[in-house]
Amino acid sequence: MTVAFLYALSGVALFVVAFHALVNRRHLLHKIMSLNVLGSGVFLVIGALARRAPTADPDPVPLALVITGIVVAVAATALGIVIMLRLQAATGRPELPPADRN
Amino acid sequence: MPQPGAALLVVAVLLPVSAAAACFLAPRLARGIAVAVALGLASVVVLLAVELVAHGPLEYRVGGWGAPLGIDLRADGLTLFMLLAAALTGLPITVYGLAYFPASAAAGGFWPLWMLLWGALNALFLSGDAFNLYVTLELMGLSAVVLVALAGSVDALGGAMRYLLMTLTASLIYLLGVGLLYHQTGVLDLNLLGAALQGGAADALQGGAAALGPAWVALGLMCAALLVKSALFPLHFWLPPAHSSAPVPVSAALSGLVVKATVYLLLRLWLDVMPPGKEDLGTALGVLGAAAIVWGSVQALRQSELKLLVAYSTVAQLGYLFLPFAVEAAHAGVAWRGAAYFVLCHALAKTAMFMTVGNLQKLGGSARLGELRHVARQFPVSLAAFGIAGITIIGLPPSGGFLAKWLLLQASIGAGQWWLAVVVLAGGLLSAAYVFRVVGLAFVEDGSESAPARRSSAAEWITLAVALGTLALGFTAPPMLRVLEVGSPFGEPFGGALLWEPGGAP
């Protein structure tokens, strides 16, 4: 088992834990943070795969994917928090309103 | 060496994106800029069509790098159809937005985001690179989320939040798929990916199918992500709240264009990248599409709010776009041509329907079906538009929707897959039920004093014009389907004669 494989495996574990939290937590900040952890899991897998052989230099293209992904995650987190604050101001609770209000 | 017309591909992306920045910096000029850009993009599409017919598919290498390292923009007939759908719906949405949003600065948020969304859509249609497509997906998703939230109500904020969580999770899963695929093949360009995987399929025949296993895992992740974003039943849970709570021009853009962009991407992966051995996946997608048609239509029938009815109708109609995946390979080309035409017709019809809802809400104060019966007679133009758009949704002649569904029927009967034909017809009947539920209101005498007649507003006439556009598409099909053949995106050339071409089928 190589180090890269270990990294990739922990990436998958992070992904699974975060997905569980994303679905089950009610607090929107928890959901937004779970998305960030989920993203980190994906980035860890892609980053770990960048080194194709134990001695070779890592391939820069996957790292470029990860950096772009991080930039998107930062912007999306900011957007998510703004919407959460608006929801809290409107309903008093940082949670999703019930889906079917009719 | 760049092709002479290839600069048009760059303009189609650069124009709306720079307009977004301009609208943001100069909010006073935003309305004028948006209208100018909408007209500009419509003319770009016309020029591009002329160029494609004259010279065949176009390619532009961004920065002069070229694949595999650089990013290519490409356009063939299918790309052009998507750009055309964006321009045909984008132009009326922009003009309707002028009437819908007041000219005050507070309502100015729509314009830069709408331009950005349009730019992201065009970029998505033109990209030929799996990773660049991820970037455009994110651009499209984030601007769409903010557009939904613009309405500001609790429903809209909740809908936007659900949309955001959904779109980000799906994008990350897509990115994971892209990363794994790159690890497998060492390329990101769709054509090169296809060559690598389809070459790999030849090797796999000798070395056992297991050689392609990891690639299928990656493609499966990408597909799953795109299915969530395309709201294919049963992954449609996020669509009705988001589409029904957004401002009306936004709902039209989301239902007409945004959900179809991800179906388009799925189709590109299906046609250009996936190695042979995908028949089971195709059948599964077709079955889900059939389920979406039935489930979405039944839900649409049960709604008491007109906007939710239209949103569930989108869930149902999206199902038609997934039926061709299940059609046997020899006949799939005809089905895909039908689906491509359906994208165009449905985009216009759904835009007209959401605009009708907007007119009723703005001028009549409500769009609940129960209350509608008291005001329906005051909105003859809007309800006529809804009915005309309904002709395409149901698939009756002489609308474009009829032609699209006819091609789907022709393909499924030609392939001997009768269950698909039954689904297409049953879906038409079900949509007739919910369209007539609305149109019928116009003919109900509710016993109260008849409300005073009123002049129809400009917004209502725009709605009617869009609805008439869906009828026009029923007559413009032969030349348009010929443009679709440029670069033969569906493989073999179109064999069957068109219905009302000279010498066509009955």
Under 8 Å between Cβ of B469 and B482: no
Which of B240, B260, B258, B245 is CA-nearest to residue B93?
B258
pTM: 0.93
Could you tell me how far CA B117 lies from the centroid of its own chain? Answer: 13
Q: How far apart are CA A71 and CA A66, in angstroms?
A: 9
Question: Are B172 and A42 an interchain contact pair (Cβ–Cβ within 8 Å)?
Answer: yes
Q: What is the mean pLDDT of residues B449-458?
A: 68
CA distances from B148 to B98, B106, B154, B395, B441 (A): 18, 16, 11, 29, 29
pLDDT of residue B133: 95
Q: How far apart are CA B58 and CA B4, in angstroms?
A: 9
Beta pairing, strands B72-75 & B58-61: antiparallel
- B127, B132, B169: which to substitute to probe chain A, counting the most A Cβ within 10 Å? B169
Higher pLDDT, B201 or B400: B400
Q: How far apart are CA B173 and CA B191, in angstroms?
A: 22
Determine if the peptide bond prior to B234 is cis (ω within 30°).
yes
B246 and A CB contact within 8 Å: no
Element spanning B242, H or E: helix B239-245
Question: Are B179 and A28 an interchain contact pair (Cβ–Cβ within 8 Å)?
Answer: no
Chain A closest CA to B161's CA: distance in Å? Answer: 7
pLDDT tens track for B306-325: 999 999 999 999 999 999 99
pLDDT tens track for B404-448: 999 999 999 999 999 999 999 999 999 999 999 888 877 776 655
| Predicted-complex ipTM score | 0.96
Q: How far apart are CA B355 and CA B242, in angstroms?
A: 16
Higher pLDDT, B500 or B21: B21
Please count the other Cβ atoms lying within 10 Å of the Cβ belonging to residue A52.
13
Q: Under an 8 Å CB criterion, which residues of A touch B? A: 15, 19, 22, 28, 31, 35, 38-39, 42, 45-46, 49, 52, 61-62, 65, 68-69, 72-73, 75-76, 79-80, 83-84, 86-87, 90-91, 96-97, 99, 101-102
pLDDT of residue B506: 37
Under 8 Å between Cβ of B45 and B87: yes
Of the candidates A38, A46, A90, which has its C-beta nearest B169's C-beta?
A38
Question: Are B168 and A87 an interchain contact pair (Cβ–Cβ within 8 Å)?
Answer: no
Read off the DSSP letter of residue A57: P
Q: How far apart are CA B482 and CA B494, in angstroms?
A: 9
Q: How far apart are CA B48 and CA B42, in angstroms?
A: 10
The Cβ-side half-sphere exposure at A73, using a 13 Å CA radius, reads 22
Q: How far apart are CA B157 and CA A84, in angstroms?
A: 8
Phi–psi pair at B189, nearest 5 degrees: -65, 135
Read off the DSSP letter of residue B272: I
Instruction: Pick the residue from chain B with its C-alpha nearest to A101.
Output: B155
- B165, B217, B235: which to substitute to probe chain A, counting the most A Cβ within 10 Å? B165
Question: CA geometry: angle at B175 spanning B134 and B147, to 5°?
Answer: 45
Sign of the four-CA dihedral B364, B367, B368, B372? positive
CB burial string B80-115: b at 16+ within 10 A, e below: bbbbbbbbbbbbbbbbbbbbbbeeeeebbbbbbbbb
Could you tell me how far CA A84 lies from the centroid of its own chain? Answer: 17
B345 and A CB contact within 8 Å: no
pLDDT band at B39 (very low <50, low <70, confident <90, very high): very high
Q: What is the DSSP string of B41-103?
A: HHHHHHHHHHHHHHH--EEEEGGG--TTTS-EEEE-HHHHHHHHHHHHHHHHHHHHHHHHS-S
Q: What is the mean pLDDT of residues B466-484?
A: 91
Under 8 Å between Cβ of A15 and A41: yes
B146 and A CB contact within 8 Å: yes
Among the residue ranges B54-58, B84-88, B370-374, B430-434, the one predicted with the least confidence is B370-374
Indicate the residue type of B432: A
B70 and A CB contact within 8 Å: no
Q: Identify all chain B residues contacting A5, using CB atoms and an 8 Å cutoff.
A: none
Chain A closest CA to B488's CA: distance in Å? Answer: 31
